[in-house]
Amino acid sequence: MADPSIPQARTSEAAPGPLDSPGASAREGISRRRLLGTAGATGLVLGAAGGAVGYSAAPSAATPLTSLGDGQVMFHGKHQPGITTPMQARGHLVAFDLAAGAGRKEAAALLRRWSDTARRLMAGEPAGAGDTDVARDAGPSSLTITFGFGHSFFGRTGLDEQRPAALDPLPDFSSDHLDKARSNGDLWVQIGADDALVAFHALRAIQKDAGAAARVRWQMNGFNRSPGATAHPMTARNLMGQVDGTRNPKPGDADFDERIFVPSSGAKDPAWMANGSYVVVRRIRMLLDDWEQLSVTDQEAVIGRRKSDGAPLSGGTETTEMDLEKTDEAGDLVVPINAHARISRPDQNGGAAMLRRPFSYHDGFDTDGVPDAGLLFICWQADPLRGFVPVQRKLDRGDALSRFIRHEASGLFAVPGGAAEGEYVGQRLLEG
Protein backbone atom coordinates (compact mmCIF):
# COMPACT_ATOMS: atom_id res chain seq x y z
CA MET A 1 0.00 0.00 0.00
CA ALA A 2 2.94 2.35 0.02
CA ASP A 3 3.59 3.88 -3.39
CA PRO A 4 1.55 4.21 -6.49
CA SER A 5 -1.55 2.26 -5.56
CA ILE A 6 -2.09 4.34 -2.45
CA PRO A 7 -2.09 8.15 -2.32
CA GLN A 8 -0.37 10.57 -0.07
CA ALA A 9 -2.42 12.40 2.50
CA ARG A 10 -1.85 15.92 1.22
CA THR A 11 -0.26 17.27 -1.93
CA SER A 12 1.72 20.30 -0.88
CA GLU A 13 1.48 21.81 -4.37
CA ALA A 14 -2.31 21.93 -4.06
CA ALA A 15 -2.42 23.10 -0.47
CA PRO A 16 -3.82 26.60 0.04
CA GLY A 17 -1.24 27.49 2.66
CA PRO A 18 1.16 26.17 5.31
CA LEU A 19 0.03 23.11 7.22
CA ASP A 20 1.89 24.02 10.40
CA SER A 21 0.02 25.16 13.49
CA PRO A 22 -0.68 28.92 13.58
CA GLY A 23 1.51 31.24 15.59
CA ALA A 24 0.76 32.76 18.94
CA SER A 25 -0.94 35.76 17.36
CA ALA A 26 -3.81 33.52 16.17
CA ARG A 27 -4.50 32.52 19.76
CA GLU A 28 -4.75 36.03 21.23
CA GLY A 29 -8.07 37.32 22.42
CA ILE A 30 -11.04 35.55 23.96
CA SER A 31 -13.76 34.38 21.63
CA ARG A 32 -17.45 34.03 22.50
CA ARG A 33 -16.99 30.31 22.13
CA ARG A 34 -14.18 30.35 24.71
CA LEU A 35 -16.27 32.36 27.19
CA LEU A 36 -19.16 29.94 26.83
CA GLY A 37 -16.87 26.95 27.21
CA THR A 38 -15.25 28.38 30.34
CA ALA A 39 -18.60 29.15 31.91
CA GLY A 40 -19.84 25.64 31.19
CA ALA A 41 -16.81 24.08 32.79
CA THR A 42 -17.71 25.45 36.25
CA GLY A 43 -21.17 23.88 36.39
CA LEU A 44 -21.97 21.12 38.92
CA VAL A 45 -23.06 17.65 37.78
CA LEU A 46 -25.42 15.56 39.93
CA GLY A 47 -24.78 11.82 39.71
CA ALA A 48 -27.85 9.56 39.67
CA ALA A 49 -26.48 7.14 42.24
CA GLY A 50 -26.79 8.51 45.79
CA GLY A 51 -26.90 12.12 44.62
CA ALA A 52 -23.09 12.24 44.32
CA VAL A 53 -21.75 15.62 43.29
CA GLY A 54 -18.79 16.23 40.99
CA TYR A 55 -17.35 18.79 38.62
CA SER A 56 -17.61 18.39 34.87
CA ALA A 57 -14.33 18.05 33.03
CA ALA A 58 -13.02 21.36 31.76
CA PRO A 59 -12.77 21.52 27.97
CA SER A 60 -9.48 22.34 26.34
CA ALA A 61 -9.02 26.07 25.90
CA ALA A 62 -10.87 27.19 22.79
CA THR A 63 -9.13 29.38 20.25
CA PRO A 64 -10.37 31.56 17.41
CA LEU A 65 -10.76 29.87 14.05
CA THR A 66 -7.37 28.83 12.76
CA SER A 67 -6.28 27.64 9.32
CA LEU A 68 -7.85 24.32 10.27
CA GLY A 69 -11.34 25.79 10.53
CA ASP A 70 -11.38 28.63 8.04
CA GLY A 71 -10.17 26.67 5.03
CA GLN A 72 -12.84 26.85 2.32
CA VAL A 73 -13.16 24.91 -0.94
CA MET A 74 -15.42 26.25 -3.68
CA PHE A 75 -18.40 24.10 -4.68
CA HIS A 76 -18.76 25.50 -8.20
CA GLY A 77 -15.93 24.95 -10.65
CA LYS A 78 -14.59 23.06 -13.64
CA HIS A 79 -14.17 19.87 -11.60
CA GLN A 80 -16.01 18.68 -8.54
CA PRO A 81 -14.29 19.31 -5.19
CA GLY A 82 -12.69 16.43 -3.32
CA ILE A 83 -10.57 15.17 -6.22
CA THR A 84 -7.50 17.41 -6.25
CA THR A 85 -8.35 18.99 -2.89
CA PRO A 86 -5.57 18.23 -0.35
CA MET A 87 -6.55 15.25 1.79
CA GLN A 88 -8.72 16.00 4.79
CA ALA A 89 -8.47 14.54 8.28
CA ARG A 90 -11.96 12.99 8.31
CA GLY A 91 -13.98 11.29 5.61
CA HIS A 92 -17.27 9.52 5.00
CA LEU A 93 -18.17 7.44 1.96
CA VAL A 94 -21.81 6.60 1.43
CA ALA A 95 -23.70 4.89 -1.40
CA PHE A 96 -27.43 5.15 -2.02
CA ASP A 97 -29.92 3.15 -4.05
CA LEU A 98 -32.92 4.92 -5.52
CA ALA A 99 -36.16 3.94 -3.82
CA ALA A 100 -38.67 1.70 -5.57
CA GLY A 101 -40.60 3.78 -8.07
CA ALA A 102 -38.07 6.63 -8.09
CA GLY A 103 -36.73 7.50 -11.52
CA ARG A 104 -35.13 10.31 -13.48
CA LYS A 105 -37.43 13.04 -12.15
CA GLU A 106 -36.83 12.08 -8.51
CA ALA A 107 -33.09 11.70 -9.12
CA ALA A 108 -32.90 15.19 -10.62
CA ALA A 109 -34.73 16.70 -7.65
CA LEU A 110 -32.42 14.84 -5.27
CA LEU A 111 -29.24 16.04 -6.99
CA ARG A 112 -30.63 19.56 -6.95
CA ARG A 113 -31.19 19.33 -3.17
CA TRP A 114 -27.81 17.72 -2.56
CA SER A 115 -25.99 20.34 -4.62
CA ASP A 116 -27.66 23.20 -2.77
CA THR A 117 -26.84 21.63 0.58
CA ALA A 118 -23.23 20.99 -0.45
CA ARG A 119 -22.82 24.59 -1.62
CA ARG A 120 -24.16 25.93 1.68
CA LEU A 121 -22.15 23.64 3.94
CA MET A 122 -18.90 24.11 2.03
CA ALA A 123 -19.31 27.87 2.58
CA GLY A 124 -19.72 27.32 6.32
CA GLU A 125 -23.45 28.09 6.25
CA PRO A 126 -26.30 26.05 7.77
CA ALA A 127 -27.69 23.30 5.56
CA GLY A 128 -31.06 25.05 5.40
CA ALA A 129 -34.35 24.54 7.19
CA GLY A 130 -34.02 21.90 9.88
CA ASP A 131 -30.25 22.23 10.25
CA THR A 132 -29.09 20.16 13.23
CA ASP A 133 -26.59 22.79 14.49
CA VAL A 134 -23.93 20.10 14.88
CA ALA A 135 -21.33 22.32 13.18
CA ARG A 136 -22.76 25.67 14.30
CA ASP A 137 -19.54 26.88 15.97
CA ALA A 138 -17.18 25.71 13.22
CA GLY A 139 -15.83 27.18 10.04
CA PRO A 140 -15.96 25.30 6.72
CA SER A 141 -12.91 23.23 7.74
CA SER A 142 -12.07 22.50 4.07
CA LEU A 143 -15.31 20.54 3.68
CA THR A 144 -15.84 18.89 0.28
CA ILE A 145 -18.83 16.90 -0.96
CA THR A 146 -18.48 14.92 -4.19
CA PHE A 147 -21.21 13.08 -6.13
CA GLY A 148 -21.04 10.15 -8.55
CA PHE A 149 -23.26 7.70 -10.45
CA GLY A 150 -22.97 3.90 -10.40
CA HIS A 151 -23.60 1.46 -13.25
CA SER A 152 -27.10 0.61 -11.97
CA PHE A 153 -28.20 4.26 -11.82
CA PHE A 154 -28.68 4.50 -15.58
CA GLY A 155 -31.09 1.58 -15.83
CA ARG A 156 -33.10 2.88 -12.89
CA THR A 157 -33.54 6.29 -14.53
CA GLY A 158 -34.03 5.20 -18.14
CA LEU A 159 -30.69 6.68 -19.17
CA ASP A 160 -28.98 3.50 -20.37
CA GLU A 161 -27.85 5.17 -23.60
CA GLN A 162 -25.97 7.77 -21.55
CA ARG A 163 -24.05 5.21 -19.49
CA PRO A 164 -20.30 5.48 -20.27
CA ALA A 165 -18.50 2.36 -21.50
CA ALA A 166 -15.82 3.09 -18.88
CA LEU A 167 -18.44 2.30 -16.22
CA ASP A 168 -18.60 -1.39 -17.19
CA PRO A 169 -18.10 -3.60 -14.11
CA LEU A 170 -14.53 -4.15 -12.97
CA PRO A 171 -13.02 -7.59 -13.63
CA ASP A 172 -12.62 -10.11 -10.82
CA PHE A 173 -9.27 -10.24 -9.03
CA SER A 174 -7.85 -13.15 -7.03
CA SER A 175 -7.43 -10.95 -3.94
CA ASP A 176 -11.16 -10.10 -3.92
CA HIS A 177 -13.33 -11.24 -1.03
CA LEU A 178 -16.10 -8.79 -1.82
CA ASP A 179 -19.22 -8.20 0.23
CA LYS A 180 -21.89 -7.32 -2.33
CA ALA A 181 -23.94 -5.49 0.29
CA ARG A 182 -21.06 -3.04 0.79
CA SER A 183 -20.21 -2.66 -2.90
CA ASN A 184 -21.45 -0.53 -5.80
CA GLY A 185 -24.75 1.43 -5.59
CA ASP A 186 -26.84 3.81 -7.71
CA LEU A 187 -25.34 6.98 -6.23
CA TRP A 188 -22.09 7.66 -4.39
CA VAL A 189 -21.15 10.55 -2.11
CA GLN A 190 -17.70 11.36 -0.73
CA ILE A 191 -17.44 13.75 2.21
CA GLY A 192 -14.17 15.11 3.55
CA ALA A 193 -13.32 17.76 6.14
CA ASP A 194 -10.60 18.68 8.60
CA ASP A 195 -13.04 18.54 11.51
CA ALA A 196 -14.96 15.44 12.56
CA LEU A 197 -18.17 17.29 13.50
CA VAL A 198 -18.20 19.23 10.24
CA ALA A 199 -17.84 15.97 8.31
CA PHE A 200 -20.60 14.24 10.30
CA HIS A 201 -22.87 17.26 9.94
CA ALA A 202 -22.55 17.01 6.17
CA LEU A 203 -23.15 13.26 6.21
CA ARG A 204 -26.33 13.69 8.22
CA ALA A 205 -27.58 16.52 6.01
CA ILE A 206 -27.01 14.49 2.83
CA GLN A 207 -28.80 11.48 4.31
CA LYS A 208 -31.76 13.60 5.41
CA ASP A 209 -31.95 15.24 1.99
CA ALA A 210 -32.34 11.81 0.38
CA GLY A 211 -35.82 11.65 1.92
CA ALA A 212 -38.06 9.14 0.18
CA ALA A 213 -36.07 9.24 -3.07
CA ALA A 214 -33.14 7.05 -2.01
CA ARG A 215 -31.96 4.84 0.83
CA VAL A 216 -28.48 4.22 2.18
CA ARG A 217 -26.90 1.09 0.71
CA TRP A 218 -23.62 1.25 2.64
CA GLN A 219 -21.56 3.80 4.52
CA MET A 220 -17.89 3.85 5.62
CA ASN A 221 -15.89 6.20 7.85
CA GLY A 222 -12.24 7.11 7.46
CA PHE A 223 -9.49 9.34 8.77
CA ASN A 224 -6.08 10.74 7.97
CA ARG A 225 -3.46 12.69 9.86
CA SER A 226 -4.70 16.17 10.76
CA PRO A 227 -3.08 19.19 9.10
CA GLY A 228 -0.45 20.62 11.41
CA ALA A 229 0.16 17.31 13.23
CA THR A 230 3.72 17.18 11.87
CA ALA A 231 6.45 19.80 12.04
CA HIS A 232 6.25 20.31 8.28
CA PRO A 233 4.07 19.03 5.42
CA MET A 234 4.99 15.47 4.54
CA THR A 235 3.70 12.34 2.85
CA ALA A 236 1.31 10.51 5.18
CA ARG A 237 1.69 7.06 6.68
CA ASN A 238 -0.88 4.30 6.43
CA LEU A 239 -1.86 1.89 9.21
CA MET A 240 1.07 -0.37 8.32
CA GLY A 241 3.35 2.51 9.27
CA GLN A 242 4.58 3.00 5.71
CA VAL A 243 5.08 6.37 4.06
CA ASP A 244 2.27 6.23 1.54
CA GLY A 245 1.83 8.07 -1.74
CA THR A 246 5.31 9.22 -2.74
CA ARG A 247 4.75 8.84 -6.49
CA ASN A 248 1.20 10.15 -6.59
CA PRO A 249 0.54 12.27 -9.72
CA LYS A 250 0.68 16.00 -9.00
CA PRO A 251 -1.68 18.64 -10.46
CA GLY A 252 1.39 20.44 -11.81
CA ASP A 253 2.46 17.46 -13.94
CA ALA A 254 2.22 18.07 -17.69
CA ASP A 255 -0.02 15.03 -18.26
CA PHE A 256 -2.04 15.27 -15.02
CA ASP A 257 -5.35 16.35 -16.57
CA GLU A 258 -4.98 13.80 -19.36
CA ARG A 259 -4.56 10.98 -16.83
CA ILE A 260 -7.19 12.08 -14.30
CA PHE A 261 -9.99 13.95 -16.08
CA VAL A 262 -12.26 13.22 -19.02
CA PRO A 263 -11.51 15.75 -21.79
CA SER A 264 -14.16 18.31 -22.63
CA SER A 265 -14.17 17.14 -26.25
CA GLY A 266 -13.67 13.42 -25.73
CA ALA A 267 -14.99 11.11 -28.44
CA LYS A 268 -15.57 7.99 -26.34
CA ASP A 269 -17.26 9.52 -23.28
CA PRO A 270 -20.74 11.07 -23.29
CA ALA A 271 -20.79 14.89 -23.30
CA TRP A 272 -22.15 15.09 -19.74
CA MET A 273 -18.88 13.55 -18.42
CA ALA A 274 -16.72 16.43 -19.74
CA ASN A 275 -14.18 17.46 -17.06
CA GLY A 276 -15.34 14.57 -14.88
CA SER A 277 -13.44 11.54 -13.63
CA TYR A 278 -13.97 7.90 -12.76
CA VAL A 279 -13.43 6.78 -9.18
CA VAL A 280 -12.66 3.28 -7.96
CA VAL A 281 -13.45 2.70 -4.29
CA ARG A 282 -12.09 -0.37 -2.49
CA ARG A 283 -12.28 -1.30 1.19
CA ILE A 284 -8.92 -3.00 1.71
CA ARG A 285 -8.46 -4.73 5.03
CA MET A 286 -4.90 -4.88 6.33
CA LEU A 287 -4.00 -8.08 8.14
CA LEU A 288 -2.10 -6.14 10.76
CA ASP A 289 -1.42 -9.02 13.16
CA ASP A 290 0.46 -10.86 10.39
CA TRP A 291 2.18 -7.72 9.13
CA GLU A 292 3.42 -6.66 12.54
CA GLN A 293 5.11 -10.04 13.08
CA LEU A 294 7.55 -9.18 10.31
CA SER A 295 10.81 -7.44 11.11
CA VAL A 296 11.25 -3.92 9.77
CA THR A 297 13.74 -5.31 7.24
CA ASP A 298 11.18 -7.81 5.96
CA GLN A 299 8.47 -5.15 5.81
CA GLU A 300 10.76 -2.93 3.75
CA ALA A 301 11.45 -5.81 1.35
CA VAL A 302 7.70 -6.28 0.84
CA ILE A 303 7.23 -2.61 -0.01
CA GLY A 304 10.56 -1.78 -1.63
CA ARG A 305 11.07 1.38 0.43
CA ARG A 306 12.56 2.25 3.81
CA LYS A 307 9.98 2.47 6.55
CA SER A 308 11.69 5.36 8.30
CA ASP A 309 11.53 7.91 5.50
CA GLY A 310 10.01 6.28 2.42
CA ALA A 311 13.26 6.32 0.44
CA PRO A 312 13.72 3.48 -2.10
CA LEU A 313 15.85 0.56 -0.95
CA SER A 314 18.20 1.43 -3.81
CA GLY A 315 19.20 4.57 -1.89
CA GLY A 316 18.63 8.31 -1.71
CA THR A 317 15.70 10.20 -0.28
CA GLU A 318 11.94 9.68 -0.60
CA THR A 319 11.77 11.35 -4.00
CA THR A 320 14.91 9.72 -5.45
CA GLU A 321 14.17 7.68 -8.56
CA MET A 322 14.18 3.98 -7.74
CA ASP A 323 17.04 1.99 -9.29
CA LEU A 324 15.33 -1.25 -10.31
CA GLU A 325 18.57 -2.88 -11.51
CA LYS A 326 20.74 -2.26 -8.46
CA THR A 327 22.06 -5.42 -6.76
CA ASP A 328 23.74 -6.15 -3.43
CA GLU A 329 27.05 -7.91 -2.81
CA ALA A 330 25.41 -11.31 -3.33
CA GLY A 331 24.04 -10.23 -6.69
CA ASP A 332 20.43 -10.05 -5.51
CA LEU A 333 18.18 -7.17 -6.51
CA VAL A 334 18.11 -4.51 -3.78
CA VAL A 335 14.45 -3.85 -4.60
CA PRO A 336 12.93 -7.36 -4.71
CA ILE A 337 11.26 -8.45 -7.92
CA ASN A 338 7.87 -8.76 -6.15
CA ALA A 339 8.15 -5.56 -4.07
CA HIS A 340 4.93 -3.52 -4.10
CA ALA A 341 6.66 -0.28 -5.12
CA ARG A 342 8.33 -1.99 -8.09
CA ILE A 343 5.23 -3.74 -9.43
CA SER A 344 2.88 -0.77 -9.09
CA ARG A 345 5.10 1.77 -10.89
CA PRO A 346 3.59 3.33 -14.03
CA ASP A 347 6.65 2.33 -16.08
CA GLN A 348 5.97 -1.29 -15.11
CA ASN A 349 2.34 -1.04 -16.21
CA GLY A 350 2.39 0.59 -19.62
CA GLY A 351 2.26 4.05 -18.10
CA ALA A 352 -0.95 3.37 -16.15
CA ALA A 353 -1.39 5.90 -13.35
CA MET A 354 -4.12 7.16 -11.07
CA LEU A 355 -4.57 9.76 -8.36
CA ARG A 356 -4.83 7.88 -5.09
CA ARG A 357 -6.67 9.76 -2.34
CA PRO A 358 -7.64 7.34 0.45
CA PHE A 359 -8.72 7.37 4.06
CA SER A 360 -7.60 4.88 6.68
CA TYR A 361 -10.32 3.13 8.66
CA HIS A 362 -10.72 1.18 11.89
CA ASP A 363 -14.03 -0.54 12.59
CA GLY A 364 -13.18 -2.18 15.91
CA PHE A 365 -12.03 -5.72 16.57
CA ASP A 366 -13.28 -9.18 15.68
CA THR A 367 -14.41 -11.54 18.43
CA ASP A 368 -10.89 -12.97 18.53
CA GLY A 369 -9.31 -9.54 18.92
CA VAL A 370 -8.15 -9.08 15.33
CA PRO A 371 -8.42 -5.43 14.24
CA ASP A 372 -10.84 -4.67 11.41
CA ALA A 373 -8.69 -1.90 9.98
CA GLY A 374 -7.12 -0.86 6.73
CA LEU A 375 -7.63 1.50 3.84
CA LEU A 376 -10.63 3.05 2.11
CA PHE A 377 -8.76 3.10 -1.19
CA ILE A 378 -10.04 5.84 -3.51
CA CYS A 379 -8.41 6.42 -6.89
CA TRP A 380 -9.27 8.80 -9.72
CA GLN A 381 -8.58 8.42 -13.44
CA ALA A 382 -9.87 9.46 -16.85
CA ASP A 383 -10.44 5.78 -17.71
CA PRO A 384 -10.31 2.91 -15.19
CA LEU A 385 -9.29 0.50 -17.96
CA ARG A 386 -6.11 2.57 -18.38
CA GLY A 387 -5.66 3.37 -14.70
CA PHE A 388 -6.77 1.03 -11.93
CA VAL A 389 -7.38 -2.17 -13.89
CA PRO A 390 -3.91 -2.80 -15.40
CA VAL A 391 -2.14 -1.94 -12.14
CA GLN A 392 -4.41 -4.17 -10.06
CA ARG A 393 -4.02 -7.04 -12.53
CA LYS A 394 -0.23 -6.75 -12.22
CA LEU A 395 -0.42 -6.63 -8.43
CA ASP A 396 -2.79 -9.59 -8.47
CA ARG A 397 -0.17 -11.75 -10.17
CA GLY A 398 2.70 -11.41 -7.73
CA ASP A 399 2.68 -8.50 -5.29
CA ALA A 400 4.47 -9.41 -2.05
CA LEU A 401 1.96 -7.24 -0.20
CA SER A 402 -1.03 -9.38 -1.24
CA ARG A 403 -0.40 -11.78 1.67
CA PHE A 404 -1.16 -8.98 4.10
CA ILE A 405 -4.28 -7.38 2.61
CA ARG A 406 -7.80 -8.40 1.58
CA HIS A 407 -10.15 -6.48 -0.75
CA GLU A 408 -13.54 -6.66 0.98
CA ALA A 409 -15.73 -4.16 -0.91
CA SER A 410 -15.59 -2.42 -4.27
CA GLY A 411 -17.33 0.22 -6.36
CA LEU A 412 -16.85 2.12 -9.61
CA PHE A 413 -18.60 5.44 -10.17
CA ALA A 414 -18.78 8.10 -12.88
CA VAL A 415 -18.18 11.52 -11.32
CA PRO A 416 -19.31 14.31 -13.67
CA GLY A 417 -17.55 17.64 -13.98
CA GLY A 418 -18.23 20.46 -11.56
CA ALA A 419 -21.47 22.42 -11.53
CA ALA A 420 -21.41 25.96 -12.91
CA GLU A 421 -23.11 28.79 -11.03
CA GLY A 422 -26.83 28.13 -11.06
CA GLU A 423 -26.42 24.44 -11.94
CA TYR A 424 -26.56 21.28 -9.87
CA VAL A 425 -24.21 18.31 -10.22
CA GLY A 426 -25.35 15.95 -12.96
CA GLN A 427 -27.79 18.44 -14.52
CA ARG A 428 -26.37 17.93 -18.00
CA LEU A 429 -27.09 14.19 -17.67
CA LEU A 430 -30.49 14.39 -16.02
CA GLU A 431 -31.88 17.29 -18.07
CA GLY A 432 -29.84 16.90 -21.26
Q: Which residues are catalytic?
A: 244
Buried (b) or exposed (e) across 252-271, using 16+ Cβ within 10 A? Answer: eeeeebebbbbeeebeebbe
DSSP code string of 32-57: HHHHHHHHHHT-EEE-SSTT-EEEPP
Give whole-number Cα distances, 58 to 36, 42, 62, 148, 248, in Å. 12, 8, 11, 43, 42
CB atoms within 10 A of CB 215: 15
Contact 394, 348 (CB under 8 A): yes
Residue 133 CA, distance from chain mean position: 25
Give whole-number Cα distances, 69 to 37, 119, 229, in Å. 18, 17, 15
| Pick from 118, 95, 160: nearest CA to 429 | 160
Helix, strand and coil in the chain, % to nearest 5: 25, 20, 55
